[in-house]
Structure 1
Amino acid sequence: MNAAPPRVLTIAGSDSGGGAGIQADLKSMLANGVHGMSVLTAITAQNSLGVQGAWELPEEQVRAQFRSVVDDIGVDAVKTGMLASTAMVRVVASLLRTLPPGVPIVVDPVSVSKHGDALLAADAMAAVREEIVPLATVLTPNLTELGPVAGTNGEDRELAAKLLLDAGADWVLVKGGHDDGPVAVDVLHGPGVRREYSAPRADNRHTHGTGCTLASAIAAYLARGYDVPAAVGAAKDYISGAVAAGFALGGGIGPVDHGWQFRTRSDQ
């Protein structure tokens, strides 16, 4: 009998267009060598043009999904994404606290979609800061999310990262994808550590699902036994290739290519 690969659970919303959310998470996990499992928090009607609708799932359904997976299969790492509302944030936090000690948790504090559509209620980011950030092994805010989740204006990135570490996150990865310039730089802050991860910026507008994909890849490498700096480095390499290979889909912004490694190999 074959041994099971490491197990990673994503707790997030569904993207019906397949570019972000649960769908991106599972693709990223598969591409990075782990078995992905899911707890859906919300369902969206979403495509390359934007989010046409979003519906939060009832608390009892979220709890039932989590217990079904964790109590039977178990988990080696967890990634969180779209949590939608203050109530959902508190439900998910209560579930995360029941995990066995030592299970790494990667938190992507999703607030808006690639198209600017809100995926988190305006009053819920404070709950994320209070309930979810203290549970995070790695927190992965982009520049839009950094200020709100830290409770600052976000202009001083070093201060925001320090505030998030003080709030209980073990590590904070400040993503620089929204910056201008020829190089995309993400900065990892941790206990006595400040490390930059750089990659050439791809000339490609099809970047839907970047944050979900990166956070899931980090969780995958943590589940495989990498330490945090090494997991972030491996995930950065993966997402850089996925962004460069992103493709047009529909009439708007297409997704990153989660399977770029496999397609590159098959073409050789």
Structure 2
Amino acid sequence: MPQNPERLPPIPRVLVIANQKGGVGKTTTAINLGTALAAIGERVLIVDLDPQGNASTGLGIGRENRLHSTYDILMDGMAIRQVARDTVVPRLSIAPSTLDLLGVELEIASLQDRAFRLRKAVADLGTEASPPYTYVLIDCPPSLNLLTINAMAAGHAVLVPLQCEFFALEGLSQILGTVERVRRGLNPELSIHGIVLTMYDGRNNLSGQVVEDVRSHMGEKVYDTIIPRNVRISEAPSHGKPAILYDINCAGSQAYLKLASEVIQRERVLRAA
């Protein structure tokens, strides 16, 4: 039986892209999943919470053009609408990051609402008669710090990019533990949306073994789509474009388009449950 409309997943849906390990494809996934969702008609906002600002750079927003950033949202309560910038991708916006985020943890550590600064800003989007976005993707830094906690406190679900490497399961257990602690202490609605296997190399036996191990441990939580190692994906950020704009026909771009379809399908299952 369909859910009561009042129980349907809210809009915008807030997906947190997180893993405490660096170099696993978080930012690449945020940029290209966001682009793919926009390409199929969704209105998407990427929130860049990484002080390195690679998601902002990868979408063509130079540091000199970041007058306002996610720092202003967390520190000064600035509205997301004031910070968000259009990108070269239709229907895709980004709230850019600056290096100022490096100091946020110390600056808000003593505040009572330190873990909920982003939640309020995101929640304000949903109070509008016509929310400007259907999806908000939060790109987290490669650490489990207060920025990541803010993201998880604001999110509905976590999408975990997991590199096909030897210590994948060890890293996965750490991020799953963090999600569970946030769910118990800060955000009881938080769940795991899915685990996406990245940087897969079919010539490497280890990659295949990692895929098998992760699927055996996590079952249906692992997306069917696997993101391959792909030179075009690596080249695209230097041109300020998502891979899907840089070369839509490359294997990486096609994988992210499939991942977007899978994310949408999981959302439909939630709505029909």
Give the TM-score, by structure 2 length.
0.41
Structure of greater relative contact order (alpha carbons < 8 Å, 6+ residues apart): 2
Q: Which has the higher helix share?
A: 2
